[in-house]
Chains A and B, each alone.
Chain A
Protein backbone atom coordinates (compact mmCIF):
# COMPACT_ATOMS: atom_id res chain seq x y z
CA UNK A 1 0.00 0.00 0.00
CA UNK A 2 1.09 3.53 -0.76
CA UNK A 3 2.79 5.59 1.90
CA UNK A 4 1.59 9.16 2.30
CA UNK A 5 3.12 12.04 4.22
CA UNK A 6 0.33 13.30 6.45
CA UNK A 7 -0.35 15.36 9.57
CA UNK A 8 -1.76 13.54 12.62
CA UNK A 9 -5.01 15.48 12.67
CA UNK A 10 -5.70 14.78 8.99
CA UNK A 11 -4.75 11.14 9.52
CA UNK A 12 -7.37 10.82 12.27
CA UNK A 13 -10.00 12.57 10.14
CA UNK A 14 -9.33 10.44 7.06
CA UNK A 15 -9.27 7.26 9.13
CA UNK A 16 -12.67 8.18 10.59
CA UNK A 17 -14.06 8.45 7.06
CA UNK A 18 -12.54 5.09 6.10
CA UNK A 19 -13.89 3.53 9.30
CA UNK A 20 -17.38 4.43 8.10
CA UNK A 21 -18.04 7.29 10.52
CA UNK A 22 -21.50 8.48 9.48
CA UNK A 23 -21.62 11.73 11.46
CA UNK A 24 -19.11 14.23 12.80
CA UNK A 25 -20.08 17.02 15.20
CA UNK A 26 -17.50 19.49 16.45
CA UNK A 27 -16.52 22.89 17.77
CA UNK A 28 -13.16 24.49 16.92
CA UNK A 29 -10.21 24.42 19.33
CA UNK A 30 -6.49 24.44 18.68
CA UNK A 31 -4.57 22.12 18.21
CA UNK A 32 -7.19 19.82 16.66
CA UNK A 33 -9.20 22.12 14.37
CA UNK A 34 -7.90 20.43 11.19
CA UNK A 35 -10.04 17.39 12.03
CA UNK A 36 -13.27 19.38 11.80
CA UNK A 37 -11.99 21.43 8.86
CA UNK A 38 -11.22 18.31 6.84
CA UNK A 39 -14.44 16.51 7.76
CA UNK A 40 -16.65 19.55 7.05
CA UNK A 41 -15.97 19.17 3.34
CA UNK A 42 -15.53 15.42 3.17
CA UNK A 43 -18.71 14.46 5.04
CA UNK A 44 -20.79 16.78 2.85
CA UNK A 45 -19.25 15.34 -0.32
CA UNK A 46 -20.11 11.85 0.91
CA UNK A 47 -23.62 12.84 2.00
CA UNK A 48 -22.89 11.99 5.63
CA UNK A 49 -23.81 13.94 8.77
CA UNK A 50 -21.89 17.05 9.81
CA UNK A 51 -22.74 19.93 12.14
CA UNK A 52 -20.66 22.91 13.26
CA UNK A 53 -22.02 22.57 16.79
CA UNK A 54 -22.70 25.63 18.94
CA UNK A 55 -20.54 24.24 21.76
CA UNK A 56 -18.71 21.14 22.90
CA UNK A 57 -21.72 20.35 25.11
CA UNK A 58 -23.89 20.26 22.03
CA UNK A 59 -21.30 18.41 19.92
CA UNK A 60 -20.95 15.43 22.24
CA UNK A 61 -24.71 15.26 22.80
CA UNK A 62 -25.22 15.23 19.03
CA UNK A 63 -22.85 12.25 18.95
CA UNK A 64 -24.96 10.56 21.63
CA UNK A 65 -28.10 11.15 19.57
CA UNK A 66 -26.49 9.80 16.40
CA UNK A 67 -25.00 6.66 17.98
CA UNK A 68 -28.27 5.90 19.77
CA UNK A 69 -29.58 4.96 16.31
CA UNK A 70 -26.67 2.54 15.84
CA UNK A 71 -24.69 4.91 13.60
CA UNK A 72 -20.92 5.40 13.86
CA UNK A 73 -20.30 8.98 14.97
CA UNK A 74 -17.56 11.00 16.62
CA UNK A 75 -16.43 14.37 17.86
CA UNK A 76 -12.96 15.75 18.47
CA UNK A 77 -11.71 18.40 20.82
CA UNK A 78 -8.90 19.36 23.16
CA UNK A 79 -8.30 19.37 26.91
CA UNK A 80 -10.21 22.34 28.38
CA UNK A 81 -13.06 21.74 25.94
CA UNK A 82 -13.09 18.01 26.62
CA UNK A 83 -13.73 19.08 30.21
CA UNK A 84 -17.10 20.40 28.99
CA UNK A 85 -17.97 16.93 27.69
CA UNK A 86 -17.53 15.05 30.94
CA UNK A 87 -21.24 15.10 31.84
CA UNK A 88 -22.16 13.58 28.50
CA UNK A 89 -19.44 10.91 28.80
CA UNK A 90 -20.93 9.83 32.12
CA UNK A 91 -24.37 9.60 30.46
CA UNK A 92 -22.92 7.72 27.48
CA UNK A 93 -21.38 5.14 29.83
CA UNK A 94 -24.62 4.81 31.79
CA UNK A 95 -26.56 4.52 28.54
CA UNK A 96 -23.94 2.12 27.06
CA UNK A 97 -23.50 4.11 23.87
CA UNK A 98 -20.60 3.79 21.37
CA UNK A 99 -19.36 7.38 21.49
CA UNK A 100 -15.93 8.07 19.94
CA UNK A 101 -14.08 11.16 21.19
CA UNK A 102 -10.68 12.30 19.96
CA UNK A 103 -8.76 14.46 22.43
CA UNK A 104 -5.70 16.20 20.96
CA UNK A 105 -4.25 17.40 24.23
CA UNK A 106 -3.01 20.92 24.93
CA UNK A 107 -1.69 22.36 28.17
CA UNK A 108 -3.73 23.37 31.21
CA UNK A 109 -5.19 23.93 33.76
CA UNK A 110 -7.91 26.26 32.55
CA UNK A 111 -7.25 27.76 29.17
CA UNK A 112 -3.52 27.03 29.53
CA UNK A 113 -2.10 27.23 26.07
CA UNK A 114 -1.71 25.29 22.85
CA UNK A 115 1.67 23.84 23.84
CA UNK A 116 1.70 20.07 23.68
CA UNK A 117 1.26 18.31 27.03
CA UNK A 118 -0.08 15.08 28.49
CA UNK A 119 -2.08 16.55 31.34
CA UNK A 120 -5.34 14.83 30.43
CA UNK A 121 -4.30 11.35 31.53
CA UNK A 122 -6.43 11.69 34.67
CA UNK A 123 -9.31 13.41 32.88
CA UNK A 124 -9.40 10.57 30.35
CA UNK A 125 -8.66 7.53 32.49
CA UNK A 126 -10.50 8.54 35.65
CA UNK A 127 -12.97 10.91 34.04
CA UNK A 128 -14.49 14.13 35.25
CA UNK A 129 -18.10 13.00 35.15
CA UNK A 130 -20.25 11.81 38.02
CA UNK A 131 -20.70 8.29 39.29
CA UNK A 132 -18.93 5.00 38.70
CA UNK A 133 -18.07 4.55 35.05
CA UNK A 134 -15.14 3.57 32.87
CA UNK A 135 -14.10 4.74 29.43
CA UNK A 136 -11.77 2.89 27.06
CA UNK A 137 -8.71 5.10 26.44
CA UNK A 138 -6.22 4.45 23.62
CA UNK A 139 -3.05 6.53 23.24
CA UNK A 140 -1.29 6.60 19.83
CA UNK A 141 2.40 7.49 19.59
CA UNK A 142 2.85 7.91 15.82
CA UNK A 143 0.78 9.22 12.92
CA UNK A 144 0.44 5.61 11.72
CA UNK A 145 -1.07 4.70 15.08
CA UNK A 146 -3.43 7.69 14.81
CA UNK A 147 -4.90 5.87 11.80
CA UNK A 148 -4.82 2.35 13.24
CA UNK A 149 -6.25 3.34 16.61
CA UNK A 150 -8.98 5.51 15.11
CA UNK A 151 -10.16 2.31 13.42
CA UNK A 152 -9.80 0.48 16.72
CA UNK A 153 -11.72 3.19 18.61
CA UNK A 154 -14.80 2.74 16.40
CA UNK A 155 -14.56 -1.03 16.62
CA UNK A 156 -14.21 -1.23 20.40
CA UNK A 157 -16.90 1.41 21.00
CA UNK A 158 -19.46 -0.61 19.03
CA UNK A 159 -18.24 -4.04 20.14
CA UNK A 160 -18.63 -3.19 23.82
CA UNK A 161 -21.20 -0.36 23.60
CA UNK A 162 -18.84 1.84 25.56
CA UNK A 163 -17.37 5.30 24.91
CA UNK A 164 -13.78 5.34 23.64
CA UNK A 165 -11.33 8.23 23.89
CA UNK A 166 -8.46 8.41 21.41
CA UNK A 167 -5.92 10.35 23.49
CA UNK A 168 -3.49 12.11 21.17
CA UNK A 169 -1.58 15.33 21.84
CA UNK A 170 -0.68 18.55 20.06
CA UNK A 171 2.65 17.11 18.96
CA UNK A 172 1.01 14.20 17.16
CA UNK A 173 -1.83 16.29 15.83
CA UNK A 174 0.48 18.81 14.19
CA UNK A 175 3.30 16.47 13.11
CA UNK A 176 3.69 15.07 9.59
CA UNK A 177 4.92 11.50 9.17
CA UNK A 178 4.74 8.85 6.49
CA UNK A 179 1.81 6.51 7.06
CA UNK A 180 -0.26 3.89 5.28
CA UNK A 181 -4.04 3.74 5.19
CA UNK A 182 -5.18 0.14 5.25
CA UNK A 183 -8.86 -0.62 4.79
CA UNK A 184 -10.93 -0.68 7.98
CA UNK A 185 -9.78 -4.04 9.32
CA UNK A 186 -12.61 -4.87 11.75
CA UNK A 187 -15.96 -6.59 11.30
CA UNK A 188 -19.10 -4.44 11.42
CA UNK A 189 -21.01 -4.85 14.68
CA UNK A 190 -24.71 -5.68 14.58
CA UNK A 191 -26.57 -2.97 16.54
CA UNK A 192 -30.06 -4.18 15.67
CA UNK A 193 -30.85 -5.56 19.14
CA UNK A 194 -30.73 -2.16 20.85
CA UNK A 195 -30.54 0.77 18.40
CA UNK A 196 -33.39 3.26 18.16
CA UNK A 197 -34.91 2.76 14.73
CA UNK A 198 -38.64 3.18 15.36
CA UNK A 199 -41.17 0.67 16.70
CA UNK A 200 -41.75 -1.25 13.49
CA UNK A 201 -42.70 -4.84 14.42
CA UNK A 202 -41.25 -4.59 17.91
CA UNK A 203 -42.00 -2.89 21.25
CA UNK A 204 -40.63 0.58 21.96
CA UNK A 205 -37.05 0.93 23.18
CA UNK A 206 -35.81 3.49 25.66
CA UNK A 207 -32.22 4.47 26.36
CA UNK A 208 -31.84 6.22 29.69
CA UNK A 209 -29.71 6.42 32.80
CA UNK A 210 -32.41 7.39 35.31
CA UNK A 211 -33.12 4.48 37.65
CA UNK A 212 -35.32 5.12 40.70
CA UNK A 213 -35.03 1.50 41.90
CA UNK A 214 -32.02 1.13 44.20
CA UNK A 215 -31.51 -2.56 43.40
CA UNK A 216 -31.80 -2.00 39.65
CA UNK A 217 -29.36 0.90 39.75
CA UNK A 218 -26.87 -1.24 41.69
CA UNK A 219 -27.33 -4.03 39.16
CA UNK A 220 -26.71 -1.65 36.29
CA UNK A 221 -23.48 -0.31 37.79
CA UNK A 222 -22.31 -3.86 38.51
CA UNK A 223 -23.07 -4.77 34.92
CA UNK A 224 -20.94 -1.89 33.64
CA UNK A 225 -18.02 -3.04 35.74
CA UNK A 226 -18.44 -6.69 34.80
CA UNK A 227 -18.38 -5.56 31.18
CA UNK A 228 -15.18 -3.64 31.79
CA UNK A 229 -13.59 -6.76 33.30
CA UNK A 230 -14.22 -8.50 29.98
CA UNK A 231 -12.77 -5.49 28.15
CA UNK A 232 -9.72 -5.65 30.42
CA UNK A 233 -9.25 -9.36 29.70
CA UNK A 234 -9.67 -9.02 25.93
CA UNK A 235 -8.38 -5.60 25.01
CA UNK A 236 -5.56 -4.54 27.34
CA UNK A 237 -2.72 -3.62 24.99
CA UNK A 238 0.89 -2.60 25.56
CA UNK A 239 4.26 -2.63 23.90
CA UNK A 240 7.56 -3.61 25.48
CA UNK A 241 11.17 -3.68 24.29
CA UNK A 242 14.26 -5.26 25.84
CA UNK A 243 12.50 -5.88 29.13
CA UNK A 244 13.71 -9.48 29.49
CA UNK A 245 17.20 -8.70 30.79
CA UNK A 246 16.44 -5.11 31.85
CA UNK A 247 17.27 -3.70 35.29
CA UNK A 248 15.26 -0.55 34.67
CA UNK A 249 12.20 -0.04 32.50
CA UNK A 250 11.44 3.35 31.01
CA UNK A 251 7.70 3.85 30.80
CA UNK A 252 5.69 6.39 28.82
CA UNK A 253 2.41 6.77 26.95
CA UNK A 254 1.46 8.51 23.72
CA UNK A 255 4.09 10.40 21.78
CA UNK A 256 6.60 10.36 24.66
CA UNK A 257 6.99 6.67 23.79
CA UNK A 258 9.19 7.76 20.88
CA UNK A 259 11.72 9.41 23.18
CA UNK A 260 11.99 6.62 25.76
CA UNK A 261 12.78 4.13 23.00
CA UNK A 262 15.73 6.29 21.92
CA UNK A 263 16.75 6.97 25.53
CA UNK A 264 16.78 3.25 26.36
CA UNK A 265 19.04 2.62 23.38
CA UNK A 266 21.50 5.31 24.56
CA UNK A 267 21.44 3.91 28.10
CA UNK A 268 22.22 0.42 26.74
CA UNK A 269 25.21 1.91 24.89
CA UNK A 270 26.36 3.30 28.24
CA UNK A 271 26.10 -0.14 29.83
CA UNK A 272 22.83 0.37 31.68
CA UNK A 273 20.38 -2.43 31.02
CA UNK A 274 17.31 -0.39 30.12
CA UNK A 275 14.07 -1.58 28.57
CA UNK A 276 10.84 0.13 27.53
CA UNK A 277 7.23 -0.38 28.47
CA UNK A 278 4.41 1.55 26.89
CA UNK A 279 0.71 1.07 27.69
CA UNK A 280 -1.31 1.38 24.47
CA UNK A 281 -4.63 1.18 26.26
CA UNK A 282 -4.50 3.52 29.25
CA UNK A 283 -7.84 2.12 30.29
CA UNK A 284 -7.84 -0.85 30.65
CA UNK A 285 -4.33 -0.39 32.05
CA UNK A 286 -1.77 -3.24 31.84
CA UNK A 287 -1.54 -3.59 35.64
CA UNK A 288 -0.91 -7.31 35.53
CA UNK A 289 2.10 -7.18 33.23
CA UNK A 290 3.68 -4.27 35.12
CA UNK A 291 3.17 -6.19 38.34
CA UNK A 292 4.91 -9.26 36.85
CA UNK A 293 7.90 -7.20 35.67
CA UNK A 294 8.15 -5.50 39.08
CA UNK A 295 8.02 -8.95 40.67
CA UNK A 296 11.16 -9.81 38.70
CA UNK A 297 12.90 -6.91 40.49
CA UNK A 298 12.86 -4.48 37.58
CA UNK A 299 12.67 -0.79 38.54
CA UNK A 300 10.45 1.65 36.68
CA UNK A 301 11.13 5.19 35.52
CA UNK A 302 8.00 6.95 34.27
CA UNK A 303 8.54 9.69 31.68
CA UNK A 304 5.60 11.97 30.98
CA UNK A 305 4.62 15.53 30.08
CA UNK A 306 2.55 16.26 33.20
CA UNK A 307 3.11 16.40 36.94
CA UNK A 308 3.06 12.63 37.38
CA UNK A 309 -0.36 11.32 36.42
CA UNK A 310 0.46 7.89 34.96
CA UNK A 311 3.26 7.69 37.56
CA UNK A 312 0.62 6.97 40.23
CA UNK A 313 -0.87 4.10 38.24
CA UNK A 314 2.56 2.54 37.69
CA UNK A 315 3.27 2.77 41.43
CA UNK A 316 -0.10 1.18 42.12
CA UNK A 317 0.64 -1.66 39.67
CA UNK A 318 4.16 -2.23 41.04
CA UNK A 319 2.74 -2.70 44.56
CA UNK A 320 6.04 -1.85 46.24
CA UNK A 321 7.91 -4.77 44.70
CA UNK A 322 10.48 -2.50 43.05
CA UNK A 323 11.45 1.16 42.84
CA UNK A 324 9.54 3.73 40.77
CA UNK A 325 10.70 7.24 39.83
CA UNK A 326 9.34 10.06 37.74
CA UNK A 327 11.01 12.10 35.00
CA UNK A 328 8.65 14.78 33.85
CA UNK A 329 7.98 18.27 32.58
CA UNK A 330 4.61 19.95 32.93
CA UNK A 331 4.32 21.48 29.49
CA UNK A 332 5.97 22.62 26.29
CA UNK A 333 9.15 21.27 24.74
CA UNK A 334 9.04 17.50 24.82
CA UNK A 335 11.68 15.99 27.16
CA UNK A 336 14.65 15.38 24.87
CA UNK A 337 16.39 12.02 24.70
CA UNK A 338 19.58 13.36 26.35
CA UNK A 339 17.55 14.97 29.14
CA UNK A 340 15.85 11.67 29.85
CA UNK A 341 19.19 9.81 29.79
CA UNK A 342 20.84 12.23 32.21
CA UNK A 343 17.79 12.25 34.52
CA UNK A 344 17.82 8.44 34.61
CA UNK A 345 21.55 8.43 35.44
CA UNK A 346 20.98 10.88 38.32
CA UNK A 347 18.09 8.81 39.67
CA UNK A 348 20.28 5.71 39.61
CA UNK A 349 23.20 7.55 41.31
CA UNK A 350 20.90 8.63 44.12
CA UNK A 351 19.32 5.18 44.27
CA UNK A 352 15.85 6.57 43.49
CA UNK A 353 16.03 8.92 46.50
CA UNK A 354 14.07 11.59 44.64
CA UNK A 355 12.37 12.07 41.34
CA UNK A 356 14.12 14.41 38.95
Chain B
Protein backbone atom coordinates (compact mmCIF):
# COMPACT_ATOMS: atom_id res chain seq x y z
CA UNK B 1 0.00 0.00 0.00
CA UNK B 2 1.29 3.49 -0.79
CA UNK B 3 1.86 5.72 2.22
CA UNK B 4 0.47 9.18 1.49
CA UNK B 5 0.82 10.86 4.88
CA UNK B 6 3.42 10.65 7.63
CA UNK B 7 5.10 12.62 10.39
CA UNK B 8 7.83 14.86 8.91
CA UNK B 9 11.37 13.52 9.33
CA UNK B 10 12.36 16.75 11.07
CA UNK B 11 9.83 16.19 13.87
CA UNK B 12 11.14 14.07 16.75
CA UNK B 13 9.91 10.47 16.68
CA UNK B 14 8.70 10.50 20.29
CA UNK B 15 7.38 14.06 20.09
CA UNK B 16 4.38 14.80 22.29
CA UNK B 17 3.17 18.39 21.94
CA UNK B 18 2.60 20.08 25.27
CA UNK B 19 0.54 22.90 23.79
CA UNK B 20 -3.06 23.58 24.86
CA UNK B 21 -5.90 22.06 22.79
CA UNK B 22 -6.68 24.29 19.80
CA UNK B 23 -3.33 26.11 19.89
CA UNK B 24 -1.82 26.63 16.44
CA UNK B 25 1.83 26.16 17.49
CA UNK B 26 1.58 22.47 16.56
CA UNK B 27 0.36 23.29 13.05
CA UNK B 28 3.07 25.93 12.59
CA UNK B 29 5.81 23.54 13.73
CA UNK B 30 4.53 20.81 11.43
CA UNK B 31 4.54 23.19 8.45
CA UNK B 32 8.05 24.31 9.33
CA UNK B 33 9.25 20.70 9.43
CA UNK B 34 7.47 19.78 6.19
CA UNK B 35 9.25 22.68 4.49
CA UNK B 36 12.63 21.65 5.93
CA UNK B 37 12.07 18.08 4.72
CA UNK B 38 11.00 19.20 1.26
CA UNK B 39 14.04 21.48 0.93
CA UNK B 40 16.19 18.63 2.30
CA UNK B 41 18.01 20.90 4.73
CA UNK B 42 17.47 19.11 8.05
CA UNK B 43 21.13 18.18 8.44
CA UNK B 44 22.39 21.69 7.85
CA UNK B 45 19.76 23.64 9.75
CA UNK B 46 20.33 25.36 13.09
CA UNK B 47 17.49 27.02 14.98
CA UNK B 48 17.69 29.72 17.64
CA UNK B 49 14.57 29.43 19.76
CA UNK B 50 12.97 31.94 22.07
CA UNK B 51 11.21 32.39 25.39
CA UNK B 52 7.47 31.91 25.83
CA UNK B 53 5.29 29.01 24.65
CA UNK B 54 7.76 28.60 21.79
CA UNK B 55 10.57 27.76 24.22
CA UNK B 56 10.08 23.99 24.04
CA UNK B 57 10.61 23.84 20.28
CA UNK B 58 13.81 21.83 20.75
CA UNK B 59 11.72 19.08 22.36
CA UNK B 60 9.68 18.71 19.18
CA UNK B 61 12.08 19.10 16.26
CA UNK B 62 14.98 16.88 15.22
CA UNK B 63 17.18 19.87 14.45
CA UNK B 64 20.10 21.47 16.33
CA UNK B 65 18.78 24.28 18.54
CA UNK B 66 20.01 26.96 20.88
CA UNK B 67 17.63 28.74 23.23
CA UNK B 68 18.19 32.49 23.07
CA UNK B 69 17.41 34.81 25.98
CA UNK B 70 14.05 36.59 25.64
CA UNK B 71 14.06 38.69 22.46
CA UNK B 72 17.60 37.86 21.32
CA UNK B 73 16.86 35.07 18.85
CA UNK B 74 17.83 37.05 15.76
CA UNK B 75 21.05 38.29 17.39
CA UNK B 76 22.05 34.71 18.21
CA UNK B 77 20.98 33.57 14.75
CA UNK B 78 23.20 36.31 13.30
CA UNK B 79 26.11 34.94 15.32
CA UNK B 80 25.43 31.38 14.15
CA UNK B 81 25.17 32.43 10.51
CA UNK B 82 28.25 34.67 10.55
CA UNK B 83 30.28 31.84 12.12
CA UNK B 84 28.84 29.15 9.82
CA UNK B 85 27.57 30.77 6.60
CA UNK B 86 27.03 27.33 5.03
CA UNK B 87 24.24 26.48 7.49
CA UNK B 88 20.55 27.28 7.12
CA UNK B 89 19.64 29.28 10.23
CA UNK B 90 16.15 30.14 11.41
CA UNK B 91 14.34 31.57 14.41
CA UNK B 92 10.94 30.71 15.87
CA UNK B 93 9.53 33.37 18.19
CA UNK B 94 6.32 34.64 19.65
CA UNK B 95 5.06 38.19 19.14
CA UNK B 96 6.29 39.37 22.56
CA UNK B 97 9.74 37.96 21.90
CA UNK B 98 10.00 39.30 18.34
CA UNK B 99 8.06 42.56 18.42
CA UNK B 100 8.42 43.79 22.00
CA UNK B 101 11.54 42.89 23.97
CA UNK B 102 13.40 41.83 20.83
CA UNK B 103 12.27 44.59 18.45
CA UNK B 104 15.78 46.06 18.06
CA UNK B 105 17.34 42.68 17.31
CA UNK B 106 14.52 41.82 14.88
CA UNK B 107 14.58 45.11 12.96
CA UNK B 108 18.36 45.26 12.74
CA UNK B 109 18.59 41.70 11.41
CA UNK B 110 16.24 42.93 8.65
CA UNK B 111 18.19 46.17 8.09
CA UNK B 112 21.43 44.19 7.76
CA UNK B 113 19.74 41.76 5.42
CA UNK B 114 20.96 38.75 7.39
CA UNK B 115 20.59 35.54 5.42
CA UNK B 116 18.18 34.12 7.98
CA UNK B 117 14.59 32.94 8.19
CA UNK B 118 12.42 34.38 10.98
CA UNK B 119 9.01 33.04 11.97
CA UNK B 120 6.81 34.99 14.38
CA UNK B 121 3.72 33.51 15.97
CA UNK B 122 1.18 36.31 16.53
CA UNK B 123 -1.51 35.30 19.04
CA UNK B 124 -2.09 38.85 20.37
CA UNK B 125 -1.03 37.98 23.92
CA UNK B 126 1.71 36.66 26.21
CA UNK B 127 0.51 33.06 26.30
CA UNK B 128 2.92 31.33 28.67
CA UNK B 129 2.67 33.89 31.46
CA UNK B 130 -1.14 33.77 31.45
CA UNK B 131 -2.47 36.12 28.78
CA UNK B 132 -1.13 39.61 29.38
CA UNK B 133 -1.28 42.61 27.04
CA UNK B 134 1.46 42.56 24.41
CA UNK B 135 2.67 44.46 21.37
CA UNK B 136 0.10 42.81 19.07
CA UNK B 137 -2.93 42.93 21.39
CA UNK B 138 -5.83 44.30 19.33
CA UNK B 139 -7.75 47.49 20.10
CA UNK B 140 -10.44 46.71 22.65
CA UNK B 141 -8.99 43.28 23.49
CA UNK B 142 -9.33 42.31 27.14
CA UNK B 143 -6.23 40.73 28.71
CA UNK B 144 -5.09 40.32 32.31
CA UNK B 145 -3.22 43.63 32.07
CA UNK B 146 -5.78 45.42 29.90
CA UNK B 147 -8.86 44.51 31.94
CA UNK B 148 -10.99 47.23 30.30
CA UNK B 149 -9.67 46.40 26.86
CA UNK B 150 -6.79 47.91 24.91
CA UNK B 151 -7.31 51.64 24.50
CA UNK B 152 -5.28 54.34 22.82
CA UNK B 153 -4.65 56.37 26.01
CA UNK B 154 -2.91 53.70 28.05
CA UNK B 155 -1.61 51.24 25.48
CA UNK B 156 -1.31 52.84 22.07
CA UNK B 157 -1.66 50.71 18.97
CA UNK B 158 -0.75 47.17 17.93
CA UNK B 159 2.52 46.52 16.06
CA UNK B 160 2.16 45.25 12.49
CA UNK B 161 5.40 43.43 11.95
CA UNK B 162 4.94 41.96 8.47
CA UNK B 163 4.47 45.49 7.08
CA UNK B 164 7.31 46.95 9.17
CA UNK B 165 9.87 44.27 8.33
CA UNK B 166 8.98 44.57 4.63
CA UNK B 167 10.14 48.23 4.72
CA UNK B 168 13.73 47.21 5.54
CA UNK B 169 16.04 47.13 2.51
CA UNK B 170 17.59 43.91 3.76
CA UNK B 171 14.26 42.09 3.91
CA UNK B 172 13.87 39.74 0.96
CA UNK B 173 10.46 38.32 1.82
CA UNK B 174 7.74 39.28 4.27
CA UNK B 175 4.29 37.76 4.53
CA UNK B 176 1.44 37.38 6.99
CA UNK B 177 -0.44 34.09 7.03
CA UNK B 178 -3.09 32.39 9.14
CA UNK B 179 -3.78 28.80 10.18
CA UNK B 180 -7.57 28.92 10.53
CA UNK B 181 -8.47 26.93 7.41
CA UNK B 182 -6.99 24.44 4.94
CA UNK B 183 -6.50 27.05 2.18
CA UNK B 184 -4.78 29.39 4.63
CA UNK B 185 -2.59 26.57 5.96
CA UNK B 186 -1.51 25.78 2.41
CA UNK B 187 -0.70 29.46 1.82
CA UNK B 188 1.24 29.53 5.08
CA UNK B 189 3.40 26.62 4.00
CA UNK B 190 4.21 28.32 0.71
CA UNK B 191 5.21 31.49 2.57
CA UNK B 192 7.46 29.60 4.99
CA UNK B 193 9.13 27.85 2.08
CA UNK B 194 9.81 31.16 0.33
CA UNK B 195 11.22 32.59 3.57
CA UNK B 196 13.75 29.75 3.54
CA UNK B 197 14.45 30.02 -0.17
CA UNK B 198 15.42 33.71 0.01
CA UNK B 199 17.93 32.82 2.73
CA UNK B 200 19.36 29.92 0.76
CA UNK B 201 19.61 32.06 -2.37
CA UNK B 202 21.53 34.68 -0.36
CA UNK B 203 19.01 37.46 -1.05
CA UNK B 204 18.24 38.52 2.51
CA UNK B 205 15.98 38.00 5.49
CA UNK B 206 12.83 35.92 5.03
CA UNK B 207 10.04 36.72 7.48
CA UNK B 208 6.63 35.16 8.08
CA UNK B 209 4.14 36.41 10.65
CA UNK B 210 1.75 33.58 11.52
CA UNK B 211 -1.64 34.50 13.00
CA UNK B 212 -2.34 31.87 15.64
CA UNK B 213 -4.86 30.97 18.27
CA UNK B 214 -4.56 31.03 22.04
CA UNK B 215 -7.88 29.48 23.13
CA UNK B 216 -6.80 29.21 26.78
CA UNK B 217 -6.02 32.88 27.25
CA UNK B 218 -8.71 34.08 24.87
CA UNK B 219 -11.23 32.04 26.94
CA UNK B 220 -12.61 30.46 23.78
CA UNK B 221 -13.14 27.00 22.36
CA UNK B 222 -10.75 26.02 19.56
CA UNK B 223 -13.56 26.66 17.04
CA UNK B 224 -14.33 30.11 18.45
CA UNK B 225 -10.61 30.94 18.50
CA UNK B 226 -10.21 30.10 14.83
CA UNK B 227 -13.31 32.15 14.04
CA UNK B 228 -11.70 35.08 15.82
CA UNK B 229 -8.61 34.74 13.63
CA UNK B 230 -10.80 34.52 10.53
CA UNK B 231 -13.27 37.30 11.35
CA UNK B 232 -11.46 39.75 13.65
CA UNK B 233 -7.69 39.36 13.60
CA UNK B 234 -7.37 39.65 9.82
CA UNK B 235 -9.03 43.10 9.97
CA UNK B 236 -6.15 44.42 12.11
CA UNK B 237 -3.55 42.10 10.60
CA UNK B 238 -4.38 41.68 6.90
CA UNK B 239 -3.05 38.54 5.26
CA UNK B 240 -0.75 38.81 2.28
CA UNK B 241 2.76 39.11 0.92
CA UNK B 242 4.25 42.52 1.69
CA UNK B 243 7.58 41.98 -0.03
CA UNK B 244 8.94 39.29 -2.32
CA UNK B 245 12.40 39.57 -3.83
CA UNK B 246 12.68 35.82 -4.34
CA UNK B 247 13.21 36.31 -8.07
CA UNK B 248 16.09 38.78 -7.51
CA UNK B 249 18.82 36.17 -7.24
Contact = CB atoms under 8 A, between A and B. Distances in A.
A25 interface: yes
A58 interface: yes
Nearest to B56: A210
A55 B75 CA distance: 10
Interface residues of B, number: 35
A22 interface: yes
Interface string A74-99: 00000000000001100100010000
B87 A61 contact: no
Contact of B69 (A54, A71, A87): A87
B195 interface: no
B64 A62 contact: no
A180 interface: no
A57 B72 contact: yes
B64 A209 contact: no
| Chain A interface bracket (under 10, 10 to 19, 20 to 34, 35 or more) | 35 or more
A65 interface: yes
Nearest to A197: B64
Interface in A175-227: 196-200, 203-210
Nearest to B67: A208
Nearest to B58: A206
B129 to A, nearest CB: 14
Contacts of A61: 68-69, 72, 75-76, 79, 105
B41 to A, nearest CB: 9
B178 interface: no
A51 interface: yes
Interface stretch (B42-50, B184-192, B208-216, B241-249): B42-50
A66 B82 CA distance: 7
B148 interface: no
Interface in B20-59: 42-46, 48-49, 55, 58
Interface string A282-323: 000000000000000000000000000000000000000000
Contact of A65 (B12, B55, B83): B83
B48 A58 contact: no
Interface string B183-225: 0000000000000000000000000000000000000000000
Nearest to A54: B108
B63 interface: yes
A208 B82 contact: no
Contacts of A64: 66, 68, 76, 79
Interface in B61-86: 61-69, 72, 75-84
A104 interface: no
A252 to B, nearest CB: 35
Contacts of B58: 204, 206, 208
B69 A196 contact: no
Contacts of B112: 51
Nearest to B79: A65
B43 A200 contact: yes
A289 B63 CA distance: 48
B75 A69 contact: no
Given A61-B79, A65-B48, A204-B58, A54 B105 contact: yes
Nearest to A72: B83
Interface string B96-117: 0000000011001000100000
Given A199-B43, A208-B58, A69 B80 contact: yes
Interface string A1-28: 0000000000000000000001101000
Which of A54, A62, A207 has the largest count of B CB atoms less than 10 A from its CB? Answer: A62
A57 to B, nearest CB: 7
Contacts of B78: 25, 51, 58, 62, 65
A28 B214 CA distance: 41
B100 to A, nearest CB: 14
A9 to B, nearest CB: 22
A54 B76 CA distance: 13
Contacts of B44: 198, 200
Nearest to A94: B67
A23 B80 CA distance: 10
A55 to B, nearest CB: 6
Contacts of A237: none
Contacts of B83: 22-23, 49, 65-67, 69, 71, 73
Given A199-B43, A206-B64, A207-B67, A62 B76 contact: yes
B79 A25 contact: yes
A95 B72 CA distance: 15
A198 B65 contact: no
A281 interface: no
Interface of B: 12, 42-46, 48-49, 55, 58, 61-69, 72, 75-84, 87, 104-105, 108, 112
29 contacts: A49-B82, A49-B83, A53-B75, A54-B104, A54-B108, A57-B72, A57-B75, A58-B72, A58-B104, A58-B105, A61-B72, A61-B76, A63-B79, A65-B68, A65-B76, A69-B87, A88-B72, A91-B69, A196-B64, A196-B66, A200-B43, A204-B58, A204-B61, A204-B64, A206-B67, A207-B67, A208-B66, A209-B67, A210-B55
Given A53-B75, A61-B105, A206-B66, 14 more contacts: A51-B78, A51-B82, A57-B72, A58-B75, A58-B105, A62-B75, A65-B75, A65-B78, A67-B83, A68-B76, A69-B80, A88-B72, A197-B46, A204-B61
Closest 10 CB pairs of A and B: A65-B79, A65-B76, A49-B82, A62-B79, A208-B67, A206-B58, A61-B75, A66-B83, A66-B79, A71-B83
